[in-house]
Structure 1
């Protein structure tokens, strides 16, 4: 069987239940040899509220007790410059060689913006895509930007086919029931801080308890 590496990238500011559910979904579908979590350093670096080390520590807390093995890959942070997925995948392809299956995992909201990513069409030459729909984000071809829908045509494949193909295939999963965004989490944490003990949101429904403890201990996302 072909060696398979699944990647989940993002700002993780903070990591939340949606990220964990997305990783778990594709860990189950693909049975990859390794699942790597890639905290990014976005080109709009000022938008991050937690530091690089805090984001990594929260990821370690969130994924430490999962039933699937996870590696936190720090290459985008250690690069010290803005993160671009295509550059990371070029490096990973060089590292793993032509015979490995690389699957870059994302949510449907990212797929709908894929044509705004740097050198986005090259992604298909470097990796497969694993895309999960979440409530409110459809994966139907007519709901995607025309350029993205055109790029996906002829690439759709089953998880097994994606796992055994080095690059160029796309697996669509319609079973992700979690609808959480980091913006929603930050807003809820800010509102919770403003209201003191009069909680307006069940924060435990948004982030893992150990991550919530970390956020509160370090006074993150209060402003």
Structure 2
């Protein structure tokens, strides 16, 4: 799974999802918008609108799935609940991966039931350009015995490992910057899929 607010989904999100699937030989990548992210402010537009944009962005891309399960659930969007739901669907023997960027990984120790994440899935940290912050003591202790060096070691068990992964494209696109550009009427061409950009303009989303 690849979660996030997708506020809005951009080409960096989508390219990362494609390359993640290729690098780990995944059957599919569930892109899951958070309805109520516990550790950040309320997204700029509604969960339903973010899901609609995500579906447009994915289009018919093989292996990518726009997954609405966090939008259909009451309360905060805890990743442990999402992984538990996915684990129930795929069964105990399937290999399940949760991917996140390095900036989000740095706050992992503050997440709801962080140790349980590893009981349910592997954690893959996607390197992001310009992010090189050292780990906190709590996070370092949490992942000390879990880190593996390659995909083969990661996939040797259904869950419990950590892998740092550098994807080929490493597109340094920021959703925050995209929102600022939209608010100021600046161009977002080649930052967003054309269908996403068109819907944003038609409905006047992200205008200040």
TM-score, with length taken from structure 2: 0.90
Q: CA RMSD in A?
A: 1.9
Q: Which stretches in structure 1 are left out of the alignment for 5+ residues?
A: 1-6, 193-198
Q: Secondary structure at the match of 1:104?
A: strand
Cα offset, 1:113, TM superposition: 1.0
Q: 2:83 aligns with which of 79, 83, 89?
A: 89
Cα offset, 1:65, TM superposition: 4.1
Q: Secondary structure at the match of 1:78?
A: coil
Q: Equivalent residue for 2:157? A: 165
User: Cα deviation per residue 1:48-96 (whole Å; 9 max; x = unaligned)?
Assistant: 2222221111111111143x32122111101132210011112222232
Q: How does 1:1-223 map to 2 (within 5 A)?
A: 7-43=1-37, 47-66=42-61, 68-138=62-132, 143-157=134-148, 158-175=150-167, 176-192=169-185, 199=186, 202-223=187-208
Q: How many residues align?
A: 205
CA distance in 1, matches of 2:41, 2:101: 23
- Of Structure 1 and Structure 2, the greater helix share is in 1
Cα offset, 1:205, TM superposition: 3.3
Runs of 4+ in 1 over 6 A off after TM superposition: none
Q: Secondary structure at the match of 1:156?
A: coil
Q: Secondary structure at the match of 2:206?
A: coil
Cα offset, 1:42, TM superposition: 1.8
Does the CA-based 8 Å contact 1:26-1:130 persist in structure 2? Answer: no
CA distance in 1, matches of 2:176, 2:54: 17
Pick closer, same or farther for the CA change 1:203–1:122 going to 2, 3 Å: same
Does the CA-based 8 Å contact 1:101-1:162 persist in structure 2? Answer: no
CA distance in 1, matches of 2:122, 2:63: 20
CA distance in 2, matches of 1:218, 1:164: 47
User: Cα deviation per residue 1:114-150 (whole Å; 9 max; x = unaligned)?
Assistant: 11111111111111011111111137xxx11121122
Q: Which stretches in structure 2 are left out of the alignment for 5+ residues?
A: none
CA distance in 1, matches of 2:135, 2:90: 31
